[in-house]
A and B are shown apart, each in its own frame.
Chain A
């Protein structure tokens, strides 16, 4: 086994810094508790464009240009772009890459796409293959609903545990300049399927994968819960988070307030959001509007961010398949 790989965890010798980042969201997220830390809030889900897909694309573009502007980075300073989204053929990410004309790796991890991108980026930097990597990911309520579920104006009744896709994008630039926040390790998840097949309950489908990756990370790094300030999953939602707690409790891990979920906290309290947010944007927005600022302010020193993905497709659901889940983790630490 390679010397930097322990179990499923990569320990980086040359940990890249997150030197700049920006988050953009739609109007619903702008009503939530982190609105003031989101860099740009679009007042309509189309962001002034004529289709929702173009609106999602413009959110990603805004996030990327804001992230570059904050640190005066020009596109030519970026060695590599890694990005992904929820749409078929990762259409949004591909068309963003077309506009920037930089070496590009498109990836798909469902809602774990941002974390998967950060892992790719960290590997390329630690391995000496790149000195600056731009990561981006997005999701959008209308574009996701029409692809995965039913038309928006359709009068179907949803169960109370259904999640609400987060509309927004996040862009994160990794480099060697001391940005005080580093990605020091990453745990690559395995696909876990406990045969949950309700597409309205993706949180429960992904919780086993999240539990598996968390346990694996602790095992590989020889750490326990007290070594972390926050362990936060991407989009399990309130119901999925409950299931995760139960699964971890069975392994004698009681995390209490240390365990949280981006989707569960991103919206204001309202029954219309059901179990909470889902989609790549849940983690993409919370990382930049909550986690990194908290690390920079010394509220946290060590955070484990676990991106969670529900690996279903509209066809597999029609074919009565269950929903496999995957969870990838990045360990983010504050350096002075």
Chain B
């Protein structure tokens, strides 16, 4: 291209050299600690609901719903994005991250109206999880049907 005469591979190497490196090790540690902590809190709620009197399955469901409420609340209050910047996968992978993925676009598109804005946009980020979760469970079912056992 006229003046620069640089191949894309050479330029990619240059960019890599000049970019600040990702703090990979630190990120893994932060993700581990925050993710572990969130699961710990989830375990706490599970135990709590069993203590109150629910059976193991229902207590688990109630625990999940509680964590969804916490994730949603922290998103609404504006803290979850800061947690996400710190913890990366540690806050994205737990179900609180799923709640964040549903609340954040809904919150943002509220200014475009409740039906076409908030109502529709709720699934933009979380959609693939629902789609592929349902599809893969279906196919596992098909496989079980065909191969029995």
Contact = CB atoms under 8 A, between A and B. Distances in A.
Any A–B CB pair closer than 8 Å? yes
A265 B103 CA distance: 34
Contact of A212 (B1, B88, B103, B125): B1
Contacts of A247: 4, 6, 14
B100 A208 contact: no
A310 B81 CA distance: 26
Interface in B1-28: 1-4, 6, 8, 11-12, 14-15, 17-20, 22-23, 27
Contact of B108 (A152, A219, A250): A152
A51 B113 CA distance: 11
A251 B4 CA distance: 8
Contacts of B11: 194-196, 208
A154 B98 CA distance: 10
A194 B15 CA distance: 11
A250 to B, nearest CB: 8
Interface residues of A, number: 36
A157 B85 contact: yes
Contacts of B18: 204, 239, 242-243, 246
A74 interface: no
Contacts of B101: 154
Given A192-B1, A208-B4, A212-B1, A158 B15 contact: no
Contacts of B75: 153, 155
Interface in A39-56: 50-52
Contact of B100 (A155, A204, A219, A251): A155
Interface residues of B, number: 43
Contacts of B83: 155
B84 A157 contact: yes
Contacts of B4: 192, 208, 211-212, 215, 247
Nearest to A213: B3
A159 interface: yes
Nearest to A250: B6
A142 to B, nearest CB: 8
Interface string A177-215: 000000000000010101110000100100010011001
Given A155-B83, A159-B22, 19 more contacts: A51-B111, A52-B111, A151-B104, A151-B107, A151-B125, A153-B76, A153-B78, A153-B104, A153-B108, A154-B105, A155-B80, A157-B85, A190-B2, A192-B4, A195-B11, A201-B19, A204-B18, A215-B3, A215-B4
Interface of A: 50-52, 146, 150-161, 190, 192, 194-196, 201, 204, 208, 211-212, 215-216, 219, 239, 242-243, 246-247, 250-251
14 contacts: A151-B109, A151-B125, A153-B78, A153-B81, A153-B103, A153-B107, A154-B84, A155-B91, A155-B92, A194-B6, A196-B11, A196-B15, A211-B3, A211-B4
Interface of B: 1-4, 6, 8, 11-12, 14-15, 17-20, 22-23, 27, 75-76, 78, 80-81, 83-89, 91-92, 97, 100-101, 103-105, 107-109, 111, 124-125
